[in-house]
Amino acid sequence: MKNCPVPPIRFARRKTASHPWPFAPLLELPGGDLHVYGAGKVVSAQQFVLIVGLSPQHFIAVEEAPGIGPVQAVLEQAVGFLWGQGAKIQRIKLRCPTSWFSDQYGDFMWRECFVFFSRIYLATDPTNPPWVPSMVYPVIPIGVIASAAGLHWEKVEQVLTGVEAADPDLLLDLGSSLAGMARRWEYFLARIIILSERAEEYDASDRDLVAQCDHILYRILTKFEPSYELLPVTTLRLL
């Protein structure tokens, strides 16, 4: 009896969020009300920032909701709503009162809050993923590292595109956040490549994955940080 070919398994993709939040300044959920600023870019409750939408797909949410009453319940309802819309959510440990971003008249300046959380996202170290223990990370094949990094940089590009869509001038307020992240990654990748070459574990497929990651990084820096100077070793790989 001949073995029948097995069709490839394709998991259903989650739908991508286009703009999940309503434009109304008040979002009523079963657990309570959320205040919405910037057409859904910043969400708060009990005078604390709870969720910031860096792009239509990427959101940062605090782990624990400060304040009194059922704030945690309404936070989790909001996070569940976003996840159901296909958003990617990063949770952080932070207590961020809205007063940090209030002007002299007490009005909430959502753009300053948006930039603040964007800097937090860009401060993420791409060379030290939190899901991999530090003692295990160096033994991961370089092709796996480059592939994961490529996905990371694509997310960074989507976030920066979201910032630009919110207000192009906000990109200037991010300062050297992108440059710092890129430089950490360049040094890390150069070291990993040297170690892999010494161990004779750097084959053609690994080189292709590294090249794909390099081109994604180059595309982002060319658009959002044109004054950035790549390391010579990175430039050589791009040639």
Residue 193: φ, ψ to 5°: -65, -45
> Rounded to the nearest 5 degrees, what angle is found at the Cα of 144, between the Cα atoms of 176 and 177?
5
Strands 26-29 and 88-92, by their bridges, are unpaired
Q: Which residues contact 153 (CB under 8 A, 6 or more apart)?
A: 126, 213, 216, 217, 220
pLDDT tier for residue 14 given thresholds of 50, 70 and 90: very low
pLDDT by residue (tens digit) across 144-188? 888 888 888 988 888 888 888 888 888 888 767 888 889 989 998
Share of the chain above pLDDT 90, in %: 11
pLDDT tier for residue 20 given thresholds of 50, 70 and 90: low
Q: If you search the block for the tokens 């869509």, which residue do you land on?
A: 165
For residues 215-237, average pLDDT: 92
